[in-house]
Amino acid sequence: MCDEDTEAENERYLREQRMGRRDFGIGAGAAAAALLAGCGPTTAAPAPATASTRRASPPPAPDPAQKPGPKPKLSTSQRSVTIPTPDGSAEAFFAAPKGGRHPAVLVWPDVAGLRSAYEKLAVRLAAEGYAVVVVNQYYRSTKLPIFTTFADWRTEEGKAKIGPMREALTPEAIARDGAAFVAWLDGQSAVDTARKQATTGYCMGGPYTFRTAAVAPERVGAIASFHGAALVGPDPTSPHLLFSKMKAAALICIAQNDDEREPEAKTKLRSAADAAKIEAEIEVYPAQHGWCTTDAPIYDETQAERAWARMLALFERHL
């Protein structure tokens, strides 16, 4: 969850993965024995599969006769922009298809902030037919660049730099930002204001999607949180309690180590979504916190692509 414990868990997971690969090289028999002895990553015993606790797995292969052809990717344009907010001016990166008007998507980056990995994500999503803005959530404290890669944040200097910046990101501040970013998107010629917007968030950006949808319920029709941090808590402003203020369908992709640390979170999310009559896909993925971010050491391409596909399916239905 963007903290020292999560980083330690991920380091341990990577060491165990490397050890497992090394042991596999000894020979098939030795590798099998090593794996049976527990050389792979240890996890808690899985809960019975339900709509709210099932772990993600690849969907069954579709019937080739019914499989649609790949959707053509659109040519895109992109530029750096500055967005006025009640608290100042936020730098951001905007990408959209060339020509036409499209549903808008607001992307909240992870703890390391707006950088090349998220610019590429925006361009990729724009090629799917969306007008996408990725924001510098730390604009109150610093201008871009913040970090070049996720690895820069993992240093002692990087964590010391980010610490004070995060303190400025109160629930109230994020709500003001979310409203300003949604309004800015609606003012862009590439955005189809007759269609709902979406917002996605990674790591610390996960809860920001809830706050955005709650502050702009008439405009935000879908949210997607990927390994979101602190989605459930005791505070009355906890993200899971905001379902009642939203009109957005939700995709909540939970990392396996986050679930092991807070196994009750998914159940509380499900209960809150059901109580608010919000359509929500809530799933624990067999991947570590940070698995969707391409420049993170824990990046898991297979599970990241699965989460990406679920996001596109959500947007297709609700935007």
Residue pair 225/248 in contact (Cβ under 8 Å)? The answer is no
Does a structural domain hold residue 181?
Answer: yes
Work out the number of other CB atoms within 10 angstroms of the CB of residue 15. Answer: 11
pLDDT for the residue numbered 11: 57
- Give me the CATH number covering residue 240: 3.40.50.1820
Verify that 21 and 51 share a domain, yes or no: no
> Among residues of the chain, what percentage have pLDDT more than 70?
78
Verify that 20 and 50 share a domain, yes or no: no
Does a structural domain hold residue 66?
Answer: no
Verify that 81 and 110 share a domain, yes or no: yes
pLDDT for the residue numbered 28: 36
Verify that 18 and 114 share a domain, yes or no: no
Does a structural domain hold residue 63?
Answer: no
Verify that 284 and 221 share a domain, yes or no: yes
Verify that 186 and 258 share a domain, yes or no: yes
Amino acid identity of residue 271, one-letter, is S
Does a structural domain hold residue 297?
Answer: yes
Does a structural domain hold residue 68?
Answer: no
pLDDT in tens, 101-112: 999 999 999 999
3-state secondary structure of 215: helix
Verify that 313 and 259 share a domain, yes or no: yes
Amino acid identity of residue 92, one-letter, is A
Verify that 116 and 22 share a domain, yes or no: no
Does a structural domain hold residue 69?
Answer: no
pLDDT over 60 at 216, yes or no? yes
- Among the listed ranges 11-20, 144-153, 157-166, 275-284, which one has the minimum average pLDDT value? 11-20
Does a structural domain hold residue 62?
Answer: no
- Per DSSP, helices labelled H in the chain are 4-24, 28-36, 116-126, 150-153, 156-167, 171-186, 206-215, 256-261, 265-275, 301-318
Does a structural domain hold residue 132?
Answer: yes
pLDDT in tens, 22-79: 443 433 333 322 222 222 233 333 333 333 444 444 444 444 445 556 778 999 999 9
Verify that 210 and 113 share a domain, yes or no: yes
Two tokens at 281? 């896909």
Verify that 8 and 121 share a domain, yes or no: no
Work out the number of other CB atoms within 10 angstroms of the CB of residue 54. Answer: 15
- Domain with 96, as residue range(s), is 46-56+75-318
Verify that 103 and 18 share a domain, yes or no: no
Structural domain count of the chain: 2
Amino acid identity of residue 200, one-letter, is T
Longest dimension (CA), the chain: 63
Verify that 33 and 107 share a domain, yes or no: no
